[in-house]
Copies of this chain bind each other. A is one copy, B any other.
Amino acid sequence: MNEVIIRELEKKDLWNGFLTSLDSLKEASSIDKEKADAIFEKINSSPDHIIAVAEIDGKIVGATTLLIESKFIHNGGLVGHIEDVVVDKNHQGQKIGEKIMKFLIEISKDRGCYKTILDCTDEVKPFYEKLGFKQVASELRLDNI
């Protein structure tokens, strides 16, 4: 297997595998270029919104997001929220998701988050449990549209 580089998202990645990787999760690569650029700029301007990507042979094949939330509780504590863990379907089973997760868990710890949390369905729970996550509650959703 070729070398996997895990690093933060750069603008040049958007149309070089990042958006098509997200398609495995939910259609993303049909977005307007201008809109994608604007979202990138917004996310990139926040130190608390980090997207990590996996690069193989110069192409993005996976991504995950970490949001860092400031709270008043826990003596002004920080919480890391993991979102949108995705690996391109042609690169699944190569531990790429695990590598991206470990990269973001380290950032969450380094930034001083007292916990890292995520929501997931039963099918993928074992993947997160192997990384040390434990179920503590339920995710509830309200559709706004």
Pick the residue among B30, B43, B137 that contacts A119 (CB under 8 A).
Answer: B137
Q: How many residues on the A side are at the interface (Cβ–Cβ under 8 A)?
A: 62
Q: Mark each residue of chain A from 118 to 145: 1 if its CB lies under 8 Å from any CB of chain B, else 0.
A: 1111100100110111111111111111
Report whether A76 and B39 are in contact in the complex, using a CB–CB cutoff of 8 Å: yes
A63: min CB distance to chain B, Å: 9
The closest CB in chain B to the CB of A106 belongs to B144
Q: How far is the CB of A2 from chain B (nearest CB, A)?
A: 25
Copies of this subunit: 2
Q: Is there an interface contact between B19 and A72, defined as CB atoms closer than 8 Å?
A: yes
Majority SS of interface residues in chain A?
mixed
Whether A117 pairs with B114 at a CB distance below 8 angstroms is no
- Contacting B at CB under 8 A, from A1-43, are 18-19, 22, 25-28, 30-31, 35-36, 38-39, 42-43
Return the CB mask of A29-68 against B: 1 if under 8 Å, else 0: 0110001101100110010010000000000000001010
A residues with CB within 8 A of B: 18-19, 22, 25-28, 30-31, 35-36, 38-39, 42-43, 46, 49, 65, 67, 69-76, 80-81, 83-84, 105, 108-109, 113-122, 125, 128-129, 131-145
